[in-house]
Chains A and B, each alone.
Chain A
Amino acid sequence: MFTLGFKRIFSGTLFLRRCERPFVIVNSRVFFAGMGALPVIGHVWLRATSNVPFDFNDLPSKQLATHLQLSMRISVLVKPFVKPDIRLELNMIMKSKSLLRTVPLFFAVVASSDIRAQQNPQSVKAVQIIGLPAVKENAKGTLSVENGNLRFVHGKGISDISTSSIQGIVTGTDSQKAVGKTVGTISMAAPYGGGRFLSLFRKKIDTLTVEYRDPDGAFHGVIFRTPSGKADAIQMELIAQGAHTTLTSEHAETAKPSTGSSSKEQTQ
């Protein structure tokens, strides 16, 4: 009988002008029994045809509709006006609810990322070009600064360099072919200089050079290649955790080793 798709119905009794007015809230709209055409929240006007006192408590929606004597006729009359409005309202409710859910969720995510940042320092994908003992050249891994160590996690283990043993940190910029190694090699055989054309497409990278001494006092140097813009953060983090450095960033100092178009020869 009640076919408007109402899902939530709350009922109760309200004292208005010393009169007991039963009311029903359908989808957050208030309907008073026996009040005729009543402007309720929103734009829908609904007429309840009886003011018989009802006991609305714990009635299922169909039964409630029967008590309210909302006939099929009325519902049909109301339907064209109600239905889109209900949809609109439901959408609004959903939006507001989702917004209400989203805001705390957003703050939770921000807070958790902050906490994570404090607990686990940022790790950067890196390639160890040369220098770490017992690590193959061009080994891929993750670089991070943790507990006073520069940590490189690679496929076969973990290598740590104590920040207190570091004597120099230098960052630089470079570039490498955007097209991968295998494809790049194959492309060299492409006709009409196709491979050379591909070489023009390059991606920027950073280099991080670390000089340190092991417990025996022996000098070591390590070169890492990191994504563009990541090496400086690692450098700052290392200095913050006690690394000594007399060297500064090469960004402004020296010519870019591979991207530098000028091939100025320096001779003693």
Chain B
Amino acid sequence: MRNVRRFTTFLAFCAFLFAGVVLYAGNSQPTGFKVGGIQVATIQSDEISVPAEFRVALYENLVRQLEKQGFEHVYRDGDRNSAGVPNLVILHSTVRQFKPGSEKARQVTTVAGATSIRVRCQFTDRDGHALLEQDVTGKVRFFGGNLRATYDFAKKASRIASEKFLATDGK
């Protein structure tokens, strides 16, 4: 009797795991949108005061990470070369939450002083239709300067972008 109950529990766990994997795979599947290039708009932080160096670091890290992920054409905000690119994806980023943290506190206490930044990433086409919208968080908990949080964010955001758009980038 006990064995049957254990087996049932095990089956339920497996089913739950399988469902999770299927859902995750469905989420990470490409959108089917054939991307001609991606343009990174400047980082917006209208309602939250974010230091300029963070905004710039977010932007620059994002551009670099997208290039690293394999996007052939990564256009910057205002780039005239992006004018004639078909199927251009524009990445709009808005800072939703910012915790400056303290590098000193991290180094001295290890547990305190974490820097975190949460950014709403919105991928749209040229007409402004949303293709994907997701919050991405960048953190630095233990080692590194505060700006490393922007690197963490950029890495995560670019990974999401490559998973969603790069598979059908016509490569």
C-alpha spacing A211/B57, complex, angstroms: 11
B96 at the interface (CB under 8 A from A): yes
B86 at the interface (CB under 8 A from A): no
A244 at the interface (CB under 8 A from B): no
A249 to chain B, nearest CB (A): 10
Q: How many residues of B contact A (CB 8 A)?
A: 42
C-alpha spacing A200/B80, complex, angstroms: 48
Q: Which residues of the partner chain B approach A55 to less than 8 Å between Cβ atoms? A: none
Instruction: Tell whether A218 pairs with B77 under 8 Å between CB atoms, given A130-B60, A170-B53.
Output: yes
A168 at the interface (CB under 8 A from B): yes
Q: Which of A221, A247, A260 is the one whose CB lies under 8 Å from B60?
A: A221
B113 pairs with A259, CB closer than 8 A: no
Q: Which of A172, A259, A263 is the one whose CB lies under 8 Å from B52?
A: A172
Q: Which residues of the partner chain B approach A177 to less than 8 Å between Cβ atoms? A: 107
B137 at the interface (CB under 8 A from A): no
Closest residue on chain A to residue B102 by CB atoms: A258
B100 at the interface (CB under 8 A from A): yes
B104 pairs with A199, CB closer than 8 A: yes
B108 pairs with A199, CB closer than 8 A: yes
C-alpha spacing A254/B146, complex, angstroms: 15
A265 pairs with B76, CB closer than 8 A: no
Using a CB-CB cutoff of 8 Å, which residues 104-120 of chain B contact chain A? 104-105, 107-110, 112-113, 115
A260 pairs with B49, CB closer than 8 A: no
Please, what's the 1-or-0 string for B43-77, where 1 marks a CB less than 8 Å from any CB in chain A?
A: 00001110111111101110010000000000111
B96 pairs with A257, CB closer than 8 A: no
B78 pairs with A219, CB closer than 8 A: yes
Closest residue on chain A to residue B95 by CB atoms: A268
C-alpha spacing A196/B111, complex, angstroms: 12
C-alpha spacing A168/B52, complex, angstroms: 9
A217 pairs with B79, CB closer than 8 A: yes
C-alpha spacing A92/B136, complex, angstroms: 77
Q: Which residues of the partner chain A approach B56 to less than 8 Å between Cβ atoms? A: 130-131, 209, 211, 221-223
C-alpha spacing A259/B107, complex, angstroms: 12
A196 pairs with B77, CB closer than 8 A: no
Q: Which residues of the partner chain A approach B147 to less than 8 Å between Cβ atoms? A: 129-130, 223
C-alpha spacing A175/B104, complex, angstroms: 8
A202 at the interface (CB under 8 A from B): yes
Instruction: Tell whether A216 pairs with B97 under 8 Å between CB atoms, given A130-B61, A211-B56.
Output: no
Using a CB-CB cutoff of 8 Å, which residues 12-57 of chain B contact chain A? 42, 47-49, 51-57
A118 at the interface (CB under 8 A from B): no
A266 pairs with B97, CB closer than 8 A: yes
Please, what's the 1-or-0 string for A176-197, where 1 marks a CB less than 8 Å from any CB in chain B?
A: 1100000000000000000010
B99 at the interface (CB under 8 A from A): yes
Please, what's the 1-or-0 string for A147-181, where 1 marks a CB less than 8 Å from any CB in chain B?
A: 00000000000000000000010101001110000
A85 at the interface (CB under 8 A from B): no
Q: Which residues of the partner chain B approach A264 to less than 8 Å between Cβ atoms? A: 99-100
B61 pairs with A258, CB closer than 8 A: no
Q: Which 4 A-B pairs have the closest CB atoms?
A: A221-B56, A199-B107, A218-B76, A218-B79
10 contacts between A and B (CB under 8 A): A130-B60, A175-B104, A221-B59, A247-B52, A253-B49, A258-B145, A266-B48, A266-B98, A268-B96, A268-B97
20 more A-B residue pairs beyond the given contacts A247-B52, A250-B51, A268-B97, with a C-beta to C-beta distance below 8 A: A129-B53, A130-B56, A130-B61, A168-B52, A172-B51, A200-B104, A209-B52, A217-B78, A218-B76, A218-B80, A219-B76, A219-B77, A220-B76, A221-B56, A221-B59, A257-B51, A257-B146, A265-B99, A268-B47, A268-B96
